[in-house]
Structures are given as C-alpha cells and as structure tokens.
C-alpha cells in the first residue's frame, strides 16, 4: 500500500512522511496532480486559509481531490487540510472551501487558540458505521484512547448529522475533533505530532 | 498546561547553556529529541543561540532539522530574519516558528509572511530577558546587546505572537530561580506565556496556578533520566 502526501508548498510534510514510515507504509510526496496514483491521499494543512486555497487551485489539486473522492477513493485531511474540505472558512475575510463536508470553519474566539494536548478516543465501530473501511489492517484494536496535540485558532463546525463527528472538548464542543464521512476523514489535531496516538490512529484507519 | 523542553542547536549539534554564556556540548539533535520523546515531553523548542547578524551555520542547522525524525511538536527559531529563511523551512518537521529580532524591530512584513506560510497559531515570540536592579532588559540578538524593556512595544508583540516565550537568561541552568515578577512587568495575557530559564518544580506549580500556556525546561531535562516525569507530576 502506498499513501500519497499532497505537497502544495506549505506544511510539515516530512513529519507526516515520518509517521507513515513508523508504520512501515510507503509514503510518497506528490507535487502535481499527474502524480496521483494511490487510493489514499493525505492533505496536510499548515498556513493561512486564503493562501492555502490559492495554492490548491493553482496546482489544480482542488479539482483532483474532488475527483478522487467522487471515485470513492480515500482522503485524510489534517488541520487546515481538514477545514478546507468544508463549505467555507471565515479566516482571511472568507474563503470558499472544497465543499466535500457539510459545515464551515470559524474562529475559536478573540485572542483564543487551542494549543494543547487533549484526550481523544475512537472506536473501530465508529469507522464501520461511517462506511470507512480500513484496508491495510495494521491493527486489531477495537478502540484507541489517549492524548492528541492541537495547534489552531480556527475550528470546523460540522452541520451534517448523518456523519460521525466528535467534538474537541467540553469547552470547544461546537468544533469537531474528527469527522468521518464514508471515504473522507478530517482531523483537527496533528496525528503526526501526537506521539503514540498518531501511530495508533493511522494504524486503525489505513 | 504543557511541559516542554528547550534545546539549543548550533552548527548541527546540541548544547546545554548556562547563564546565557557557557555552552556545553550535548551531542546530536536526534539523540536528544529521542530521549525527550521517550519521556512524552509535550513539545520541544529548538533554538539556535545566534548572537550576531552573521549566520554561517544556518544552512547546516536546516539540514539537521530536515533529517529529524520526531512525533513530538517542534518549534524552531534563532536567526530567522528573512523571507528566504522562512521558505527554507518548507516541508521541515516543525510546526511553530520562534522569532525574536523581528518582534523587537517590528518587522511586520516578515511576520506576516511567516503567518501566511505557517498560520497565526505558529508564531511564537522569544524574549530573552534579565533583571537588574528591578529593571528588565531584553536581549536584542541581532545587536548582541540588552536593551531596556521600555524600548520595546509589547502591544505589537501581543498582537502578532500567538505565544510569547519569556526566557530568563540570568538564571538559565539554575533550579527554581525563574524571575516570576516578570509577569507583572510585561502586559501579555498569561494564557499566551511560556516561561523558560531556571525552571524547577516550584516554577511549574507557579505556572499551573497562573494558567500559563507552557513551561520549557532547559538543560535539566537531559541531566537525569527521570526528571521530565518528575516535573510533569510536579
């Protein structure tokens, strides 16, 4: 199995590649849409939403990602790469998203950012009920439980009651920590920087 | 509250530092990061102790960080003073950038460029300070000198920085000697402040009680194997 990491010139690409290597998964960094070969794409996200979307459009990854999802292939969006999958973001005065997830991104609050480790749990049953089918079968675990690392000022508000969405914490219950919708998983935290929990999460979903 | 560690990196190697003056070789960055990761250290700040404008070691340090294998959040800074420097950080396994001189010199162009590339949440300001006769002086690394706190626009720093690292240079390497009164002298919300330099268990309790964002323990983390666990439970 090969996982392809989309590189649009922004983000901590090597961290994600390192996480996949720890799982013995072949990870390839791709910079053009012509290089897409895998059934599993990772869309990392660091930066401002406006510049990020501009770079997605310039590289034509915006349309390629939509095509990939419509072909029933899988995608993992991380942080901004998750938020951009929604309908729009309030960041940078408003940015249109890819519209793959029903919901929007809004600011956590004035002068508020969520830079911390927070407990997170996920059951394999949540994946099955959301019709997400792991293919690599790297783990037999039925659930994972531990802490994950967040570093963000904006959060995704899920407006689709038919998909699996887990809130970040009691204080940030409006915002999603993870959304699973058939062949799309979006996570607000950074699995690539969540130590053993990152490995366990990827092991479960791949 | 997070409990992290500070590592000094210069020309590809890590150092322990005492009182902002003495550098003691520590070894390879990967080894130090591996040890910290085993302790489940919450975050690691890799700082290049640049004391001047001339910076011949930057490229070597970028290569060292690029080869770093880590699953722990990493902040990186020291000598980041141009857009070219920011561009070189693309793909690197770092999440946050640490700036000092651009905040002191109010280089909005560079800070905005970094924000666009890495996001608002990624920008940290480093204010190395010392207290002398009840006066606070901030280290201006590009000039290699300390300047009075009054010469710095703290509201600018509060506006552009997601978090601010207050680094006590005088007590670096000591234990439980962080100059806590600094919080009363710098008008930045506590939830944005990271303290470092002379951190001990008592300082961690102080940080927890005052709802600070984080503490960054310097040298001592690598002095004794059990230390980080002890601090985290402190």
- pLDDT at site B232: 63
B122–A contact, CB cutoff 8 A: yes
Residue B198 sits in a domain of what CATH number?
3.20.20.70
Residue located via tokens 């309908």: A87
Active site (annotated) includes residue A158? no
Structure confidence by residue, pLDDT tens digits, B79-107: 898 999 999 998 899 999 999 999 999 99
Walking along chain A (206 residues) 10 residues at a time, the average pLDDT comes out as 92 91 94 96 93 96 97 96 97 96 93 92 91 79 94 96 95 96 96 95 92
Active site (annotated) includes residue A192? yes
- List chain B residues with CB under 8 Å of A22: 71
DSSP state of A128: H
- pLDDT at site B22: 82
Reported pTM: 0.92
- List chain B residues with CB under 8 Å of A118: none
Preferred mutation among B40, B64, B73 to probe A, highest tally of A CBs within 10 A = B73
Structure confidence by residue, pLDDT tens digits, B158-214: 999 999 999 999 988 887 789 999 999 999 999 999 999 988 889 999 999 999 999
Structure confidence by residue, pLDDT tens digits, B143-161: 889 999 999 999 999 999 9
Residue A117: which of B42, B66, B192 has the nearest Cβ? B42
Residue B161 lies in domain = 2-233
CA angle A53, A148, B178 (to 5 degrees): 105
Structure confidence by residue, pLDDT tens digits, B108-138: 999 999 999 999 999 999 999 999 999 999 9
Active site (annotated) includes residue A79? yes
> With an 8 Å Cβ cutoff, are B122 and A115 in contact?
no
Output the average pLDDT for chain B: 89
Domain parsing of chain A, residue ranges: 2-205
B91–A contact, CB cutoff 8 A: yes
B113–A contact, CB cutoff 8 A: no
B71–A contact, CB cutoff 8 A: yes
Considering only CA atoms, which of A119, A140, A125, A150 is closest in space to residue A200?
A140
A200–B contact, CB cutoff 8 A: no
What is the distance in angstroms between the Cα of A162 and the nearest Cα belonging to chain B? 31
DSSP state string for chain B = -EEEEEEEEETTEEEEEETTTEEEEEEEHHHHHHHHHHTT-S-EEEE----SS--SSHHHHHHHHHT---SS-EEEESS--SHHHHHHTTTSS--EEEESHHHHTT-HHHHHHHHHHH-GGGEEEEEEEEEETTEEEEEETTTTEEEEGGGS-HHHHHHH-SEEEEEESTTTT-SS---TTHHHHS---GGGEEEESS--HHHHHHHHHTT-SEEEE-GGGGTSTTHHHHHHH-
- pLDDT at site B23: 82
Task: Point out the least confidently predicted range of A174-183, B51-60, B134-143, B223-232.
Answer: B223-232
- pLDDT at site B215: 93
Tokens of B231: 């601090």
Q: Please give the class, per CATH, of domain A2-205.
A: alpha beta
Sign of the Cα torsion A192, B121, B193, B101 reads positive
Task: Point out the least confidently predicted range of A67-71, A186-190, B38-42, B224-228.
Answer: B224-228
- pLDDT at site A97: 97
- List chain B residues with CB under 8 Å of A13: 90-91
Is a pLDDT exceeding 60 seen at residue B227?
no
Taking a contact as any Cβ pair under 8 Å apart, which residues of chain A between 53 and 72 contact chain B?
A: none
Tokens of A10: 């922004």
> With an 8 Å Cβ cutoff, are B118 and A115 in contact?
no
Q: Select which of A4, A68, A79, A91 is catalytic.
A: A79
What is the distance in angstroms between the Cα of A93 and the nearest Cα belonging to chain B? 14
Question: How many domains is chain B built from?
Answer: 1
Residue located via tokens 């600070």: B212
Q: Select which of A68, A91, A158, A192 is catalytic.
A: A192
* Cα pseudo-dihedral B108, B113, B117, B119, rounded to 10: 20
Cα B129 from Cα B126, distance rounded (Å):
9
> With an 8 Å Cβ cutoff, are B95 and A46 in contact?
yes
- pLDDT at site B233: 58
Looking at this predicted complex, what is its ipTM? 0.89
């Amino acid at each position: 199995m090969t996982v392809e990491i989309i590189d649009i010139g922004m983000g901590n690409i090597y961290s994600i590649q390192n996480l996949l290597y720890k799982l013995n998964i072949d990870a390839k960094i791709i910079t053009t849409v012509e290089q897409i070969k895998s059934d599993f794409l990772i869309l990392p996200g660091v930066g401002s939403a406006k510049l990020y979307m501009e770079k997605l459009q310039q590289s034509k990854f915006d349309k390629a990602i939509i095509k990939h999802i419509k072909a029933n292939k899988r995608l993992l969006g991380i942080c901004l790469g998750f938020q951009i999958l929604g309908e729009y973001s309030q960041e940078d005065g408003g940015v249109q998203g890819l519209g793959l997830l029903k919901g929007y991104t809004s600011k956590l609050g004035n002068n508020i950012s969520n830079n911390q480790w927070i407990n997170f749990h996920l059951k394999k049953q949540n994946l099955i009920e959301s019709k997400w089918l792991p293919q690599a079968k790297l783990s037999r675990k039925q659930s994972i439980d531990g802490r994950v690392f967040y570093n963000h000022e904006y959060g995704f508000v899920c407006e689709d009651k038919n998909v699996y969405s887990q809130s970040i914490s009691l204080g940030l219950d409006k915002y999603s920590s993870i959304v699973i919708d058939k062949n799309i998983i979006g996570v607000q935290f950074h699995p690539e920087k969540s130590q053993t929990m990152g490995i366990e999460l990827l092991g479960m979903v791949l | 509250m997070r409990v992290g560690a500070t590592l000094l990196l210069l020309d590809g190697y890590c150092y322990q530092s005492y009182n902002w003056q003495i550098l003691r070789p520590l070894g390879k960055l990967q080894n130090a990061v591996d040890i910290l990761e085993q302790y489940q250290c919450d975050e690691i700040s890799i700082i290049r102790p640049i004391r001047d404008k001339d910076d011949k070691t930057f490229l070597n340090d970028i290569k060292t960080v690029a080869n770093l294998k880590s699953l722990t959040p990493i902040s990186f800074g020291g000598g980041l003073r141009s857009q070219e420097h920011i561009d070189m950080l693309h793909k690197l396994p770092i999440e946050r950038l640490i700036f000092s001189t651009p905040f002191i010199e109010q280089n909005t162009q560079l800070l905005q460029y970094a924000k666009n590339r890495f996001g608002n949440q990624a920008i940290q300001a480093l204010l190395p300070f010392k207290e002398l006769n009840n006066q606070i002086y901030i280290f201006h690394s590009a000039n290699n000198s300390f300047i009075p706190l009054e010469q710095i626009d703290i509201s600018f720093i509060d506006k552009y920085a997601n978090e601010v690292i207050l680094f006590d240079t005088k007590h670096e390497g000591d234990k439980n000697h962080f100059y806590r009164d600094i919080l009363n002298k710098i008008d930045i919300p506590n939830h944005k402040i990271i303290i470092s330099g002379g951190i001990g268990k008592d300082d961690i309790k102080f940080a927890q009680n005052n709802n600070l964002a984080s503490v960054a323990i310097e040298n001592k983390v690598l002095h004794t194997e059990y230390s980080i666990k002890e601090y985290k439970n402190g």
